[in-house]
């Protein structure tokens, strides 16, 4: 048998093993999500069955119908929760990105007193577990009357996200050569124009990815939101999931249905921004 053939076979086998390993890894990652989607379409009996039923005998939209139905018949104010989540997540993300851009740019471009200290301080805030803040936050919010308001949660999420957006965006602005802004200034831009017309578009991909992270953090956050919201007026979708638990029973099907509604916008957003991420990552202007 010739040697080339041996190597070819070896390469094929390795490739196959590679694909199998990838499949297993993806399956492990995806199964919980798929399980939720599956459960949202079938009755509780089948969900709770032991051993688990993998191939559903019947799929229907009962859980969704009930969820959008009247309160008291398994209905929950989904639209209101969705709106709350959207308002809170979008607003806090926009603010976190604006602050992150200002801060990240300052860290990337300017020298100032205490720069390293401030930066480390910001990063340290990430080391504090969010839940440990719940009681102090609750007290502060209660005193300021921000419990059960959009503003209250928006403030919390901005605070949670800003260190992270600053850190990410700082990294992206560092990759934008300083000469680009200088060239723009020589081409007639003010400092401000140079930023918006050159540095910002070039770092756009990074800023977008920081945006996704901030949005998903706010969109998915449960622990703090469950403390700081009370009523339909401000409850977000993760908190809304708890509406499906009553004293003695848990409506798993309904919970899964709401969870699916939560996942969809996040997925769509990621898909939209992903294109940006790849398209934007071309730093060809400076010698490559």
Residues paired with 71 in a beta bridge: 75
186 binding another protein? (CB under 8 A): yes
Binding mask 140-179 for another protein (x = CB under 8 A): -------------------------------------x-x
283 binding another protein? (CB under 8 A): yes
Cβ distance to another protein smaller for residue 105 or 164: 105
Q: Say if residues 154 and 184 touch (Cβ distance below 8 Å).
A: no
Return the DSSP state at 166.
H
Cβ distance to another protein smaller for residue 82 or 276: 276
- Kindly state the tokens that stand for 59: 């799929």
182 binding another protein? (CB under 8 A): yes
Pairwise CA distance, residues 40 & 246, whole Å: 18
Q: Is 200 exposed, middle or buried (0-12, 13-18, 19+ CB in 10 A)?
A: middle
Q: Say if residues 285 and 105 touch (Cβ distance below 8 Å).
A: no
Q: Rounded to whole angstroms, what are the CA distances from 199 to 33, 42, 169, 189? A: 38, 51, 12, 12
53 binding another protein? (CB under 8 A): no
Q: Say if residues 45 and 268 touch (Cβ distance below 8 Å).
A: no
27 binding another protein? (CB under 8 A): no
Binding span for another protein by CB under 8 A among 79-87, 226-234, 264-272, 276-284: 276-284
Cβ distance to another protein smaller for residue 245 or 282: 282
273 binding another protein? (CB under 8 A): no
Instruction: For residue 197, give the nearest of 218, 216, 176, 214 by alpha carbon.
Output: 176
SS3 203: helix
E-assigned strands of 122-245? none
State which of residues 51, 114, 129, 288 lies at the interface with another protein (CB under 8 A). 288
Cβ distance to another protein smaller for residue 198 or 214: 198
Pairwise CA distance, residues 89 & 246, whole Å: 28
- Kindly state the tokens that stand for 70: 């009247």
280 binding another protein? (CB under 8 A): yes
Pairwise CA distance, residues 205 & 273, whole Å: 8
Cβ distance to another protein smaller for residue 140 or 183: 183
Residue 192 CB, shortest distance to another protein, in Å, is 11
Residues from 187 through 246 that contact another protein (CB under 8 A): 187-191, 193, 197-198, 201-202, 204
Cβ distance to another protein smaller for residue 186 or 272: 186
180 binding another protein? (CB under 8 A): yes
Residues lying near another protein in the complex (CB under 8 A) are found at 177, 179-180, 182-191, 193, 197-198, 201-202, 204, 280, 282-288
């Amino acid at each position: 048998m010739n040697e080339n053939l041996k190597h070819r076979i070896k390469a094929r086998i390795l490739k196959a093993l590679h694909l199998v390993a990838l499949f297993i890894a993806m399956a492990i990652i995806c199964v919980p999500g798929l399980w939720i989607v599956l459960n949202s379409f079938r009755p509780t009996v089948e969900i709770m069955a032991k051993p688990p039923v993998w191939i559903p005998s019947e799929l229907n939209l009962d859980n969704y119908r009930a969820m959008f139905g009247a309160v008291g018949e398994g209905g929950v104010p989904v639209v209101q929760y969705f709106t709350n989540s959207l308002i809170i997540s979008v607003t806090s993300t926009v603010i976190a990105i604006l602050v992150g851009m200002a801060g990240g740019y300052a860290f990337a471009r300017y020298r100032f007193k205490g720069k390293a200290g401030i930066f480390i301080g910001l990063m340290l805030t990430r080391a504090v577990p969010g839940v440990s803040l719940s009681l102090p936050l609750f007290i502060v919010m209660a005193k300021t009357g921000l419990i059960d308001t959009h503003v209250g949660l928006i403030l919390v999420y901005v605070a949670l996200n800003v260190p992270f957006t600053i850190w990410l965006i700082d990294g992206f602005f560092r990759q934008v050569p300083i000469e680009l802004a200088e060239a723009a200034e020589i081409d007639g831009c003010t400092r401000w124009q140079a930023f918006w017309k050159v540095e910002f578009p070039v770092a756009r991909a990074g800023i977008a990815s920081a945006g996704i992270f901030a949005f998903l953090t706010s969109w998915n956050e449960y622990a703090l939101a469950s403390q700081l919201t009370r009523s339909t007026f401000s409850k977000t979708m993760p908190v809304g999931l708890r509406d499906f638990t009553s004293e003695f029973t848990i409506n798993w099907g309904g919970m899964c249905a709401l969870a699916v509604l939560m996942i969809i916008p996040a997925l769509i957003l990621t898909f939209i921004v992903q294109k940006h991420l790849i398209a934007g990552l071309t730093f060809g202007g400076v010698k490559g």
